[in-house]
Amino acid sequence: MSPPDAAGHQEDPNAASHGQAALGDLLAPVRSRLILACLLEVIGACAKVVPLIALVELARELLRDPVREERVWSVVAIAAGALLLRLLASGAALTVTHLADTAFQLDVRRRAARRLGHVPLGWFTDRSSGRVKKALTDDVADLHHLVGHAYLDLTTAIVAPSAALVYLLASDWRLTFLTLLPVLVGIIQYAFMMRGQGEQMERYQRSIADVSAAAVEFVDGIAVVKTFGQAGHAHTRFTSAAESFVNDFWNWVRGMLRGSTVAELALAPFTTLLAALVAGAAFVQAGWAEPADVLPFLVVGVAVAGPFLELNYAYQHLVSARHAAGNIQRLLSTEILPPTADTPAIPVDARVRFAGVRFGYSDDTEVIRGVDLDLRPGTVTALVGPSGAGKSTLASLLARFWDPTEGHVSIGDADLREMEQHTLYQHVGMVLQDIRLVRDSVRENMRLARPDASDEEVVAAAQAANIHERIMALPRGYDSVHGEDANLSGGEAQRVAIARALLADTPVIVLDEATAYADPDSETAIQNALSRLAAGRTLLVVAHRLRTVTGADQICVLNEGRIVERGDHESLLARGGLYAELWGAQEALAEGRTP
């Protein structure tokens, strides 16, 4: 039931501004805690500079004759107190930000879970799992460093140099200027270099997303592509994405390499120290300063330059976080199914009706074109037709993978759009051709349909689905875990899915190519299981192999999104239309003849 992949990845020229707004929205619940943490870090950053100033004052005092012992110990006590205050304030700030980060991640993931719980089921078939995974895990993790560390680093990188600068200016503004001249050069170089880095970061993040998506798709499909000798083609797609990422990254880094080298050298503490030594020596030699007057610039001057590198790293984290926040916000803004009415509709029976239904995956492509169809309770209706006729799409509308663009689908006179989701799925069960079992025991895989089902009910459903004996042959029986000691074939997994549908006991069932992956032996077992599943229920069956639906009460032949024929098997053959043509072609292939 997968629509064409319409999740094209286009560049958003306003991504940076959107990311900033998204980041503000996501951080709103923890903003007060972040402000508190930054205020604590301001105290810690100021306290960080005090020991350096104390060291200068201590040196000056020890150079006096005579040395004032009481003042020496006072300076030492002030330095020790400042160190303790720095430890307590910064430790408290880090604790607050990490608690805020925990609350933030929990809030984002809860919001995502709530949002995804209300999007159309078809939305998931339309998205690369690599991109969804990146938003839910990688992008949330990217915001961890911002919330837990970067804001504090940014605060320290601003406050500590500012406090040191005030002290140096009070000591000698001329030496301050000469000492910090390399810092000024480094800041200007960084400002010049960082122009346009927001767009570069956007491209970098998109390249990572492309590689992640290609890797997931390559691993998921490796068995199939190897079977058909296309491993080289699939590998080429992955390596192409990886090479594109490397090229984009190298072009970005190469353009920054020279500038960043100059900036980092200018902002390096030893450059500031060298500038202070040269300027200080010149001032002393010229008689403009005493040797002791140079000490503040040799000791405290380093405190001005060092944090600027941290400021750059914090900025990079901020840019990355903006992009991640934009991805998350787009996920949280995904269009959801319209809310149900104040009084939700409840089906009165299992009659299904498609009335004037039209649907397209995009505005310019209509897949279902005016379908009217009634499914009487307790009957089997089969949808057949050539590939691309719209069979799976029409069936998916009954499970509300999507909503029709025109017309409506109803069960027991209740429009699906007016039913609550849990009510809908209490009435509609699905057995799809692409069976996904979760990494849990076989028993719990079956209980997904009804968590409160007893062991006896689980066993009864498995027996009815002709899978009980196979399960008992597993190392731990029903406790065997899928993916560990429960390795089931496609047909066996299909029968587990049928058992799950039997356990759910819904009055309406959608079967989409339920025997698609079955070998001849499994197909017989599946058909017998489906016969038990169909008893007394309204079935809508999507079938490519016409032999599997010859006993259906109603066969609808679709072509180009319309029902072009309907009736039972015999009447459709007698009509000599599209159904008879498809039947003749399949029978010829089964007998080894040319259609």
Distance CA 27, CA 587 (A): 63
For residue 66, is the peptide bond before it cis, meaning its omega torsion is within 30 degrees of 0?
yes
Q: What pLDDT band is residue 235 in, cutting at 50, 70 and 90? A: low
Task: Reply yes or no on whether the pLDDT at 130 is more than 70.
Answer: no
Task: Reply yes or no on whether the pLDDT at 405 is more than 50.
Answer: yes
pLDDT for position 409: 95
Q: Strand locations in 259-411, DSSP E?
A: 352-359, 368-375, 380-384, 406-411
| CB 85, CB 42: distance < 8 Å | no
Alpha-carbon dihedral of residues 517, 522, 527, 533, nearest 10 degrees?
Answer: -90
Q: What pLDDT band is residue 371 in, cutting at 50, 70 and 90? A: very high
Distances from the Cα of 96 to the Cα of 91, 232, 349, 354, angstroms: 9, 51, 56, 56
Alpha-carbon dihedral of residues 513, 519, 524, 530, nearest 10 degrees?
Answer: -30
Distance CA 136, CA 194 (A): 29
pLDDT for position 129: 59
- Tens of pLDDT along 141-156? 888 888 888 889 889 8
Least confidently predicted of 154-168, 208-222, 389-403? 208-222
Distance CA 590, CA 123 (A): 37
pLDDT for position 449: 83
Distance CA 542, CA 401 (A): 15
Q: What pLDDT band is residue 262 in, cutting at 50, 70 and 90? A: confident
pLDDT for position 508: 92
Question: Strand 508-512 and strand 538-542: pairing?
Answer: parallel
pLDDT for position 559: 93
- Tens of pLDDT along 544-569? 888 888 888 999 999 999 999 999 99
- Tens of pLDDT along 287-308? 888 888 888 888 888 777 767 7
pLDDT for position 372: 95
Residue type, 40: L
Average pLDDT over residues 471-480: 92
More confident position, 379 or 131: 379
Task: Reply yes or no on whether the pLDDT at 58 is more than 80.
Answer: yes
Residues 6 or more apart whose CB falls under 8 angstroms from that of 247 comprise none
More confident position, 570 or 240: 570
pLDDT for position 10: 42
Mean pLDDT of the chain: 81
Distances from the Cα of 400 to the Cα of 411, 505, 563, angstroms: 12, 18, 20
What is the layout of strands, in order, in the sheet containing 554-559? 428-431, 508-512, 538-542, 380-384, 554-559, 562-567
Average pLDDT over residues 189-212: 67
Provide the percentage of residues in the chain whose pLDDT is more than 90: 25
Q: What pLDDT band is residue 230 in, cutting at 50, 70 and 90? A: very low
**Best CA proximity match to 516, nearest among 435, 396, 440:** 435
**Best CA proximity match to 318, nearest among 175, 453, 174, 198:** 198
Q: What pLDDT band is residue 224 in, cutting at 50, 70 and 90? A: very low
Task: Reply yes or no on whether the pLDDT at 125 is more than 70.
Answer: no
Provide the percentage of residues in the chain whose pLDDT is more than 70: 82
Q: What pLDDT band is residue 387 in, cutting at 50, 70 and 90? A: confident
pLDDT for position 5: 40
pLDDT for position 290: 84
Residues 6 or more apart whose CB falls under 8 angstroms from that of 223 comprise none
pLDDT for position 322: 81
Distance CA 207, CA 11 (A): 11
pLDDT for position 11: 42
| CB 569, CB 539: distance < 8 Å | no
**Beta-bridge mates of residue 556:** 383, 566
Q: What pLDDT band is residue 513 in, cutting at 50, 70 and 90? A: confident
Average pLDDT over residues 246-250: 72
| CB 431, CB 498: distance < 8 Å | yes
pLDDT for position 87: 94
Question: Strand 380-384 and strand 368-375: pairing?
Answer: unpaired
Q: What pLDDT band is residue 459 in, cutting at 50, 70 and 90? A: very high
Distance CA 532, CA 575 (A): 31
Backbone φ, ψ for residue 160 (5° rounding): -60, -50
Task: Reply yes or no on whether the pLDDT at 586 is more than 60.
Answer: yes
More confident position, 246 or 233: 246
pLDDT for position 576: 92
Average pLDDT over residues 108-123: 80
Average pLDDT over residues 489-494: 82
Residues 6 or more apart whose CB falls under 8 angstroms from that of 116 comprise 331, 334
| CB 153, CB 42: distance < 8 Å | no
pLDDT for position 98: 93
Q: What pLDDT band is residue 209 in, cutting at 50, 70 and 90? A: low
pLDDT for position 373: 95
More confident position, 351 or 268: 351
Distance CA 511, CA 431 (A): 5
The helix/strand/coil state of 415 is strand
pLDDT for position 38: 93
Least confidently predicted of 135-144, 216-225, 456-465? 216-225
Q: What pLDDT band is residue 269 in, cutting at 50, 70 and 90? A: confident
Could you give the domains of the chain?
A: 94-332 (1.20.1560.10), 352-590 (3.40.50.300)
Average pLDDT over residues 229-257: 65
Backbone φ, ψ for residue 361 (5° rounding): -75, -20
pLDDT for position 490: 77
pLDDT for position 126: 53
Q: What pLDDT band is residue 415 in, cutting at 50, 70 and 90? A: very high
Q: What is the three-state SS of 520-570?
A: HHHHHHHHHHHHHHHCCCEEEEECCCHHHHCCCCEEEEEECCEEEEEECHH
Q: Strand locations in 368-515, DSSP E?
A: 368-375, 380-384, 406-411, 414-415, 428-431, 508-512
Task: Reply yes or no on whether the pLDDT at 523 is more than 70.
Answer: no
In the Cβ-directed half-sphere of 100, how many Cα atoms lie within 13 Å? 28
The helix/strand/coil state of 508 is strand
For residue 269, is the peptide bond before it cis, meaning its omega torsion is within 30 degrees of 0?
no
Specify whether the backbone of 419 is left (phi greater than 0), alpha (psi in -120 to 50) or beta.
beta
Distance CA 439, CA 493 (A): 13
Residues 6 or more apart whose CB falls under 8 angstroms from that of 77 comprise none
Average pLDDT over residues 478-494: 85
Task: Reply yes or no on whether the pLDDT at 575 is more than 90.
Answer: yes
pLDDT for position 280: 87
Residues 6 or more apart whose CB falls under 8 angstroms from that of 479 comprise 441, 442, 443
Average pLDDT over residues 135-142: 79
pLDDT for position 6: 38
Task: Reply yes or no on whether the pLDDT at 517 is more than 70.
Answer: no
pLDDT for position 221: 54
Question: Strand 554-559 and strand 406-411: pairing?
Answer: unpaired
Distance CA 87, CA 79 (A): 12
Average pLDDT over residues 510-520: 66
